């Protein structure tokens, strides 16, 4: 739930960085094949975060599963294997353009009238059905998906939970899956409850940088992202 964003606020925030995106997408008039050939920038620094993260790859998967257990109980999912397979296909195309990762990505379709998507550690990505139907083409879907992949690959939730565990629970290490689940639930139920906040602007911009890079490398039309 860390990365759930109200759709209206989300897109207002995106307007604030439109100028930066337009600079990044200075060649958006080119066809996808030409964009792929064009020289891509270096991989964004956000893919190699330096902030403290107490979770290793296995533990970060468990962390995401713990948050997903809480999140999924409040959602109504759409049973549409075809749509999930489609998101998997687009996701694999994007991931093939990014540095290798041990994260196992899973894409779920949510029954909601909001045009929205969000993600959690461990590869949990949620798309609303309304977003799928509102998209004009695959390039637009890929843009949103690339942004959510960016949040995950920059280990944002693990880094933020590391800080929350220390500040709220006075915990600086984690153990097995059961221990992580216990600590996440304690964090959510603490007497001084940790409150969720939308991702800050710097995190949104970092996810944007990863998204644009992935779109370029995967051959998608980056103009759809703006």
Give the ranges where the chain is alpha helix by DSSP (H).
7-16, 18-24, 32-37, 57-72, 81-95, 129-134, 138-153, 156-164, 177-189, 201-218
What's the whole-number mean pLDDT along residues 33-44?
A: 60
Is residue 179 scored above 90 in pLDDT? yes
Is residue 21 scored above 60 in pLDDT? no
**DSSP state string for 186-197:** HHHH-SS-----
Is residue 75 scored above 60 in pLDDT? yes
Averaged confidence pLDDT in the chain: 83
> What pLDDT was estimated at residue 200?
61
Report how far Cα 220 is from the mean position of its chain's Cα atoms.
Answer: 18
Residue 124, strand partner residues: 106, 120
Residue range 216-225, pLDDT digits in tens: 999 999 998 8
Q: What is the DSSP letter of 168?
A: I
Q: What are phi and psi of 151, to 5 degrees?
A: -55, -40
Are the beta carbons of 84 and 32 closer than 8 angstroms? no
> What pLDDT was estimated at residue 166?
94
> What pLDDT was estimated at residue 3?
45
Find the angle CA(140)-CA(143)-CA(144) to the nearest 5 degrees.
95
> What pLDDT was estimated at residue 202?
83
Higher pLDDT among residues 33 and 92, named by residue: 92
Query: How far apart (Å, rounded) are the C-alpha atoms in residues 220 and 197?
Result: 31
Query: How far apart (Å, rounded) are the C-alpha atoms in residues 1 and 85?
Result: 23
Question: Which of 28-32, 79-83, 114-118, 177-181 has the least mean pLDDT?
Answer: 28-32
> What pLDDT was estimated at residue 135?
94
> What pLDDT was estimated at residue 43?
85
A 10 A CB-CB count for 87 gives 22
Residues of the chain with pLDDT > 90: what percent? 69
Is residue 1 scored above 60 in pLDDT? no
What's the whole-number mean pLDDT along residues 66-74?
A: 93
Residue range 83-139, pLDDT digits in tens: 999 999 999 999 999 999 999 999 999 999 899 999 999 999 999 999 999 999 999
Are the beta carbons of 35 and 27 closer than 8 angstroms? yes
Is residue 30 scored above 90 in pLDDT? no
Those residues with Cβ within 8 angstroms of residue 181's Cβ, 6 or more apart along the chain or in another chain: 62, 65, 66, 69
């Amino acid at each position: 739930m860390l990365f759930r964003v109200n759709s209206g606020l989300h897109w207002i925030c995106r307007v604030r960085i439109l100028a930066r995106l337009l600079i990044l997408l200075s060649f958006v008039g080119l066809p996808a094949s030409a964009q792929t050939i064009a020289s891509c920038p270096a991989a964004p620094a956000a893919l190699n975060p330096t902030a403290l993260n107490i979770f290793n790859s296995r533990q970060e998967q468990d962390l995401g599963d713990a948050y997903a257990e809480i999140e999924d109980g409040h959602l109504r999912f759409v049973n549409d294997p075809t749509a999930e397979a489609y998101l998997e296909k687009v996701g694999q195309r994007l991931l093939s353009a990014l540095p290798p990762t041990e994260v196992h990505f899973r894409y779920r379709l949510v029954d909601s009238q909001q045009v929205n998507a969000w993600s959690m550690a461990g590869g949990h990505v949620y798309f609303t059905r309304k977003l799928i139907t509102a998209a004009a083409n695959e390039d637009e879907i890929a843009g949103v998906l690339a942004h959510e992949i960016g949040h995950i690959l920059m280990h944002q939730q693990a880094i933020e939970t590391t800080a929350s565990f220390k500040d709220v629970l006075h915990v600086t290490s984690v153990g097995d899956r059961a221990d992580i689940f216990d600590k996440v639930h304690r964090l959510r139920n603490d007497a001084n409850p940790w409150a969720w906040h939308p991702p800050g602007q710097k995190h949104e911009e970092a996810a944007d940088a990863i998204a644009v890079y992935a779109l370029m490398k995967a051959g998608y039309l980056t103009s759809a992202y703006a």
